[in-house]
Amino acid sequence: MLKVNNLVKIYPSGEGKLHALDGVSFEITDGELVAVTGRSGSGKSTLLNIMGLLDKPTEGEYYINDKKASGLPSWEQAKVRNAEIGFVVQDFALVEKYTVKQNVNIPLIYSKKQLDKEKAIREVLRRVGLSDKINTPVYKLSGGQKQRTAIARAVVNDPSVILADEPTGALDSVNANGIMTLFESLSRAGKTVVIVTHDMNIAARCSRRIELSDGKII
């Protein structure tokens, strides 16, 4: 379960301050597929970065599976990020020169979980339909295949939470549909999936929608 309690994020902006998040609170139960929507600059990505422990809130608390994650030292946040969170972003954040297998292996390099790494990689690539691309360098893949690789990487260490920031933003409708199907299956498998999107068709396929405007839930 994810619990966000009165999150505030303030960025310095010129002589003033920009409230990217202004007292955001909500809970997401295990296995939910949630869309976070809102216009550009509404605070969606900031919220997702804080939930992914990639950024720190100015105020407020954030819990993952009843454990307070905000305020942990950065090395402990890295451990939580590795064990509990899978991250998918619009531009894939893949190392282009690595092969698909090398990219998917990245979380496993730092994982303390007792996994058969080779088996885990092959299994996850089978699930995203990239078994035949295992040794292909990422720069040779299409956009859809890259995003599948990113999803495979996000789930290979068996995290409980998948956070996706505009995961279909760089894809055509066919590939976007395929990616959403993958997220739906992950949700059905018990993973908590949070998708930041401005695409209402994507949001409509989620079980719940949280809409932000000027850093507040509306």
Partner 1 sequence: MTEFIRLAFCEIKTQIKRYIILVFEMMAAFLVIGFLCSMLSGINMTNQTVNGAGIPADYYRAKSTAVYTDGGRAINGDERQALLIEFIADNFHTEGVTGYTTPLDHPILMATDGYFDIYGLRLEKGRAFNKDEYDSDNADMPIIMGYGFINDYDIGDTYMDKFTIVGFLSDEQYIPELSGRISKGFSVNYNIYTPIKSREWLKENGVSYPTDLIYSENKSELDAINQKAEELGLYAYNFLSADEAEQILINTTSTLNIPLVLITLLITAMSLLCLVQSMLEFVRKNIVELLIHMICGAKLSNIILRVGAGTVLTAFISAAAASLAFRSASTAAVLFITAAAVTVIAVLPIAISLKLKPPIVAVKEEK
Cα 152 from Cα 115, distance rounded (Å): 15
- Exactly one of 37, 111, 145, 168 binds partner 1 (CB under 8 A); that residue is 111
Provide φ and ψ at 83, rounded to 5°. Answer: -85, -35
- Exactly one of 5, 6, 58, 102 binds partner 1 (CB under 8 A); that residue is 102
The residue length of the chain stands at 218
> Which residues on adjacent β-strands are paired with residue 18?
11
Smallest gap from Cβ 79 to partner 1, in A, equals 7
Scan residues 117-146 and list those touching partner 1 (CB under 8 A): none
Scan residues 27-86 and list those touching partner 1 (CB under 8 A): 49, 52, 54-56, 74-75, 78-79, 81-83, 85
97 vs 188, beta carbon nearer partner 1:
97
For residue 157, state whether it binds partner 1 (rule: CB under 8 A): yes
Cα 26 from Cα 9, distance rounded (Å): 16
Instruction: Say if residues 15 and 206 touch (Cβ distance below 8 Å).
Output: no
| DSSP codes joined into one string, 89-147 | ETTTT--TTSBHHHHHHHHHHS--S---HHHHHHHHHHHTT-GGGTTSBGGGS-HHHHH
For residue 87, state whether it binds partner 1 (rule: CB under 8 A): yes
59 vs 184, beta carbon nearer partner 1:
59
How far is residue 204 CA from its own chain's centroid? 18
Smallest gap from Cβ 174 to partner 1, in A, equals 27
For residue 189, state whether it binds partner 1 (rule: CB under 8 A): no
Binding site for partner 1 (CB under 8 A): 49, 52, 54-56, 74-75, 78-79, 81-83, 85, 87, 89, 93-95, 98, 102, 106-107, 109-111, 153, 157
